[in-house]
Structure 1
Amino acid sequence: MSDDRESPPLRVPDELLDYDRELFYTYNGKGFTGIGYADVPGHGLSEISYVDGAQEGPSRDWYPSGQLKGESNYKANMLHGDMRDFRDDGSLISEKLYDHSVLVRSVTYDSQGNVVDHYEISESSPAFSQLRRLREQGG
């Protein structure tokens, strides 16, 4: 009888991962697929997902208390998707949306949850032109 369940991703301490100038991550000489983590006393836990040597998928940081500090997503070593930062009481500091590492939108909140800053990319922005080129090049 075979077991069709996926095995959990390989978890490796960050200090055991190697990387080059292009930020290609390896473990035991091969492109790393799994989760790199660091648990620094007094600073909390950090995890980054990798696929075939590139940052790919979720990245998360926690306060020493265990409360989520921040989360973001990567695609081919670029910020891509939602990013959120939290205070140590769990309240939301900011929400951002990245597309190919270009900031598309952000909202910042005060400690009562009121919006104190808002940004949305404009089609006339140089960053929008850069985003258009990146989308054409890589999907």
Structure 2
Amino acid sequence: MPDVTRIDIDDPEVDMDQGQRLLYRGELFTGEVEEHLGDALVSLDSYVEGVQHGPSREWYKDGTLRSEATARNGLPVGTSREWHPNGVLAAEVEFSENGMAMVAERRWDEEGHSTKNWHVSEG
């Protein structure tokens, strides 16, 4: 498996073009983009040709997973999840395969009690 190029979003050579595509050293970037808060890794996103494409993860500063999602050509697809700081699942949002619509949303409080359960009606 080939090595994946990884850059820091705060690198002075990272920029965005007019189409909001990520550039590194003036070129459309393909690889992983990380963000740190102090010494802690707080996000890791995948890009292809300057557009978010692939897995995306965020962590709280203590290392607890905060969210995970997948993008395809810059749009959210599949199921994204968020967690409360205590590790309890906070939300699941499902997107259509083309990323153009949200089809379901479920949310929970910090104790795991359901606070929202919505989905697109069939028919």
* TM-score between both structures, scaled by the size of structure 1: 0.76
User: How far does the alpha carbon of each residue in 1:16-58 deviate from its partner, in whole angstroms, 9 at most, with x for none?
Assistant: 3211232211212222111111101398511111011110011
- CA distance in 2 between counterparts of 1:104 and 1:64 reads 31
3-state DSSP of counterpart to 2:10? helix
Aligned to 2:103: 104
Q: Which has the higher strand share?
A: 2
- 1:87 to 2:84 alignment: yes
Pairwise CA distance, 1:64: 0.8
The residue that corresponds to 1:45 in the other structure is 42
State the alpha-carbon separation in 1 of the partners of residues 104 and 82 from structure 2.
14
For residue 62 of structure 1, the aligned residue among 59, 62, 72 is 59
Indicate conservation of the 8 Å contact 1:44/1:65, yes or no.
no
The structure with the largest helix share of the pair is: 1
Contact 2:29 2:49 in 1 (8 A): yes
Give 3-state SS (helix, strand or coil) of 2:66's partner.
Answer: strand
Task: Return closer, same or farther for 1:105/1:14 CA change in 2, 3 Å cut-off.
Answer: same
- Give the structure 1 partner of residue 5 of structure 2: 10
1:77 paired residue among 71, 74, 80: 74
Larger Rg: 1
Q: Which residue of 2 aligns with 1:114?
A: 113
Q: Under a length normalisation based on structure 2, what TM-score does the superposition of the two structures give?
A: 0.85
Q: For the Cα contact (< 8 Å) 2:9–2:35, is it kept in 1?
A: yes
Percent of residue pairs bearing the same amino acid type: 28
Stretches of structure 2 lacking an aligned partner (at least 5 in a row): none
* Count of aligned pairs: 119
